[in-house]
Structure 1
Amino acid sequence: MSLSALWIYQKERFPLFKTAPLLAVFSAASLSVSAELSGRPLPDWGGYLAGFVIAMLLFFQMRVCDEYKDLEDDRRYRPDRPIPRGLVSLRLIISLGLVSLPITALAAWLWHPPVLWLLALVWVWLGAMTAEFGVAEWLKARPVLYLLSHMAIMPLIDLLLTGLEWLPFGGPATCLLLFLGLSFVNGCVLEIGRKLWSPENEIAGVETYSGLWGTRKAARIWGVCVLLSYALLLGVGATTGVLWISAALGGIGVTICMVSAASYARFPTEKAEKRMDTIAGLWVFACYAIAGFLPVFLRFV
């Protein structure tokens, strides 16, 4: 298999130029927030490097599991995707996923070996997700429960990433739950946002939230998730002493999100569809940047 085929695959299914910056902010913010909430100094660079490597590889493993889980649906409804159209083989992608497992474990072990227990917890949940918790048909018939059960992996990943900071000291701060909740809701913001499609782009057999709820209702639900995310961001900001600045900066982002959602609801065009996907990613990026870096920045200015 040529490297050019793998390059095309990553552009379509795991775009590094989009994914890497988001996961760099996500992983670094997790360690920084954990330290800030506990009143401890920030970890050294090794912790941040381990967090980034672990986050990147875990999200790639999630993509691999999706490729395996969704293969039959992709062959039937989305034959233009890389694996169904023969660009790369499922066997190759699974092999790359398997190779990434010991690298992920090594990154955790080199930083602090007990972190492997938290990594194992994430892998157990990922395995259960891939098996659809043994009730695939029942779960797919309940799309909201499907969404919530799959987004539960986000706070588990964040528990792992924050654990790189708090586990060497014995335990996390109680208020870390606010940040884990933020990760859960932000996962919903991303997942719903990328499945708000224009009517002309809807594909029979492919489930989207715009198709499930209609564009107006889907946009409202997405907006509620953004507002809940904002409330949790304020909770984290209050515990780290940056409530009012978080409120101001986050408020700008919320306004942009609400305007975009209203525009999509009125005119659900292909352009609006792409804008919602982008705005969802930018909002999540902003949340982690504000929560993780604002207290550190203000301390040094």
Structure 2
Amino acid sequence: MSQKHASEGSLSLVQRLWIYQAERIPLAKTATLLAVFSAASVNVSAFLADRALPGWGAYATAFLVSLIIFIQLRACDELKDAEDDRRYRPERPVPRGLVSLRVILTLGAALVPVAVLITLGYHPPLLLLLGLVWLWLALMTVEFFAPKWLKARPVLYLVSHMAIMPLLDLFVTGAEWLPANGGPAPTLVLFLILSFVNGCVLEIGRKIWTPENEREGVDSYSRLWGIPSAVSIWMVLLALSFGLLVGVGHATGHLIATALPGLIMLLGAFWIGAAMRKAPTDKRQQWLDTVSGLWVFVCYTAAGFAPLVVGWAS
């Protein structure tokens, strides 16, 4: 244990939790991204159904509960990956002793009634959609009761875990459509599929590594498929995501305003992907990870805010 890590034992619990969040779920960055994601999703739900935007309660509920769910996702990951982290990633906060697994799980559990109260205070029927998200999260945590079988099938593992993204987006958009008399627009399914594909883009993009960065016991898509194939699959998912974004833009009646930012970002992402596929380097690996996050940010920003910009400009 390094001197730095040894000194962490003298810190208060609040100080240790602050270090934990900075390493495992940076709240400033995460909150910013979730604010864009939740607000854009609420907006898209209204645009697709040709309804006026809802009041602030829909946005606040969608954002706060999304943030809670992401914190709980991290807590469940700590439980699910505890043995692998102990063996292969001892530098992480829980295995190195910064905070105990019990503390993290207790924090995640303590946020359950908070999310329930927030949802009840806004629109009680929304609890059903929140329950679906938590049910899937629980199944993910126990690896759907078949951990060895599932881990031996990496694509199915990816699909099963990324399915929580459209479920979360169903809750978030539900903050708009559930209180409305008309319900969800049929074309909302395009946006939900977009959330699923973008989750896959993020997951694959952050696990394509150069050979020297591969670690024993840590799964990666570059090890599974090889770097050229992994990057190619990532690029195909980007193209599929762009196609869905175009579909959402067409459905909202703002095709060009929605598609143009996505096209610019897509071309930049393809350029970085082609460079990584040709000659993998640490810098290109980092750019691939960063661009994956930027792509998702641009998708939601374009879908959820481009129609507003067009309306204000006209």
CA drift at 1:300: 2.0
1:138 aligns to what?
Answer: 149
The answer as to whether partners of 2:249 and 2:258 remain within 8 angstroms in 1 is yes
Q: How far apart in 2 are the matches of 1:225 and 1:88?
A: 37
1:69 aligns to what?
Answer: 80
Specify which of 286, 294, 298 is matched with residue 306 of structure 2.
Answer: 294
Q: Over residues 22-75 of structure 1, what are the superposed CA-to-partner deviations in whole Å (9 max), with x where a residue is unaligned? A: 111110011000001111110111211111101101011111000000000000
CA drift at 1:104: 1.1
Specify which of 190, 209, 214 is matched with residue 178 of structure 1.
Answer: 190
Matched-pair identity in %? 57
Is it true that 1:88 corresponds to 2:99 in the alignment? yes
Specify which of 21, 24, 47 is matched with residue 10 of structure 1.
Answer: 21
For 1:261-272, what aligned pairs fall within 5 Å after superposition? 261-272=273-284
Letter of the structure 2 residue corresponding to residue 82 of structure 1: P
Q: How far apart in 1 are the matches of 2:291 and 2:230?
A: 15
CA drift at 1:270: 1.6
What SS does the aligned partner of 2:216 have?
A: coil
Specify which of 248, 253, 257 is matched with residue 245 of structure 1.
Answer: 257
Specify which of 181, 195, 199 is matched with residue 211 of structure 2.
Answer: 199
2:3 aligns to what?
Answer: none
Q: How far apart in 1 are the matches of 2:250 and 2:60?
A: 28
TM-score with structure 2 length normalisation?
Answer: 0.94
Q: How far apart in 1 are the matches of 2:308 and 2:260?
A: 17
CA drift at 1:106: 1.4
Is it true that 1:259 corresponds to 2:302 in the alignment? no
Q: How far apart in 2 are the matches of 1:113 and 1:104?
A: 11
Which moved further from structure 2: 167-176 or 51-60? 167-176
Q: Over residues 164-184 of structure 1, what are the superposed CA-to-partner deviations in whole Å (9 max), with x where a residue is unaligned? A: 000012421100000001000
Q: How far apart in 2 are the matches of 1:146 and 1:297?
A: 39
Letter of the structure 2 residue corresponding to residue 280 of structure 1: S
2:47 aligns to what?
Answer: 36
2:240 aligns to what?
Answer: 228
Across the aligned residues of Structure 1 and Structure 2, the Cα RMSD in angstroms comes to 0.9
Q: How far apart in 2 are the matches of 1:281 and 1:106?
A: 31
2:285 aligns to what?
Answer: 273
Is it true that 1:20 corresponds to 2:65 in the alignment? no
Letter of the structure 1 residue corresponding to residue 52 of structure 2: P
Q: Over residues 244-267 of structure 1, what are the superposed CA-to-partner deviations in whole Å (9 max), with x where a residue is unaligned? A: 222221110000110111111122
Which moved further from structure 2: 154-163 or 164-173? 164-173
Q: How far apart in 1 are the matches of 2:73 and 2:298?
A: 23
Q: How far apart in 2 are the matches of 1:255 and 1:87?
A: 42
1:155 aligns to what?
Answer: 166
Q: How far apart in 1 are the matches of 2:288 and 2:275?
A: 10
Aligned length: 301
Q: How far apart in 1 are the matches of 2:159 and 2:279?
A: 28
Q: How far apart in 1 are the matches of 2:29 and 2:232?
A: 26
Is it true that 1:51 corresponds to 2:67 in the alignment? no
Q: How far apart in 1 are the matches of 2:38 and 2:308?
A: 15
Q: Report the structure number with the largest CA radius of gyration.
A: 2
2:5 aligns to what?
Answer: none
Q: How far apart in 1 are the matches of 2:231 and 2:237?
A: 10
Q: How far apart in 2 are the matches of 1:47 and 1:270?
A: 42
Q: Over residues 93-116 of structure 1, what are the superposed CA-to-partner deviations in whole Å (9 max), with x where a residue is unaligned? A: 001101111111111111101000
Q: Over residues 141-166 of structure 1, what are the superposed CA-to-partner deviations in whole Å (9 max), with x where a residue is unaligned? A: 00000000100000000000000000
Q: Over residues 104-144 of structure 1, what are the superposed CA-to-partner deviations in whole Å (9 max), with x where a residue is unaligned? A: 11111111010000000110011011111111101000000
Specify which of 213, 226, 229 is matched with residue 217 of structure 1.
Answer: 229
Letter of the structure 1 residue corresponding to residue 284 of structure 2: A
Displaced runs of 4+ in structure 1, greater than 6 A?
Answer: none
The answer as to whether partners of 2:208 and 2:230 remain within 8 angstroms in 1 is yes
